[in-house]
Amino acid sequence: MKLLKSKTDQIRGRYNRIAFLYNSLEAPMEYLRFRNWRNRLTKMIRGPSTLEVGVGTGKNLPYYPLEVDVTAIDFSPKMLSYAKKSAFKLDFDVKFHLMDVQQLQFPDKSFDTVFGTFVFCSVPDPLAGLRELRRVCKPDGKLLLLEHIRPHNYFMGLLFDAMNPIVVRIMGANINRRTIDNIQKVGWKITKDVNLGNNIVHLIEATP
Ligand SMILES: C[S@@+](CC[C@H](N)C(=O)[O-])C[C@H]1O[C@@H](n2cnc3c(N)ncnc32)[C@H](O)[C@@H]1O
């Protein structure tokens, strides 16, 4: 528990540190790929009540369907401050909370859709986070994720394993997580798994 807490503090610190640069660092990929993927995933949201975890600087906010009631959390105060600014600019009423997905402060079965993009690469204990999402999702609700995962190709997998410590140190994100397996391990049933590129980025839909 103590180890997880210090790991959590460490990753939170990295996101606080890069928050001011985050959108600029991702700008090329955002323009080339991410915005289309965000658009595609957010179209799959079924409301009214939606929880976005790891909202970051709020990059999904412009793509949400109009009719949804959005609650958004992040454990980095700095990232969250940019998301709040983005919501203000968009005149979008979002309920923001500084919160850890590994220990959500919401009652069981609260949300119709639970959702995140590029989050489970950095959650220190991804199984705990995915379990919490399943707890707060309504029985007829769904999970939507956009995640990059460890490549299936044998040599690419080894390469990503070798590079992972450096990427974690700089960005706080792991590039070799087996997120599809993790989702299933905590009991979610995958209903859609779309390979968006090189078997690295996947769009995932699952039910509790
Ligand atoms: C790679 S960024 C993605 C941000 C945003 N979802 C996007 O698509 O641009 C990962 C985000 O997840 C947040 N995060 C990581 N672990 C978390 C946790 N345990 N609880 C809440 N937020 C977390 C980080 O602070 C960061 O804002």
Cβ–Cβ < 8 Å for 134, 186: yes
Cβ–Cβ < 8 Å for 111, 71: yes
Residues with CB under 6 A from ligand 1: 11, 15, 53-56, 59, 73-76, 79, 100-102, 117-119, 122-123, 129, 173
Pick the atom of ligand 1 nearest to 26's CA: 9
User: 100 alpha carbon to ligand 1 midpoint, in Å?
Assistant: 10
Pick the atom of ligand 1 nearest to 146's CA: 8
**DSSP label of 39:** H
Tens of pLDDT along the chain (208 residues) come to: 677 778 899 899 999 999 999 999 999 999 999 999 999 999 999 989 999 999 999 999 999 988 899 999 999 999 999 999 999 999 999 999 999 999 999 999 999 999 999 999 999 999 999 999 999 999 999 999 999 999 888 999 999 999 999 988 887 789 999 999 999 999 999 999 999 977 899 999 999 9
**Which residues have a Cβ under 8 Å from the Cβ of 179 and sit 6 or more positions away?**
120, 121, 126, 145, 147, 149, 202, 204
User: 56 alpha carbon to ligand 1 midpoint, in Å?
Assistant: 5
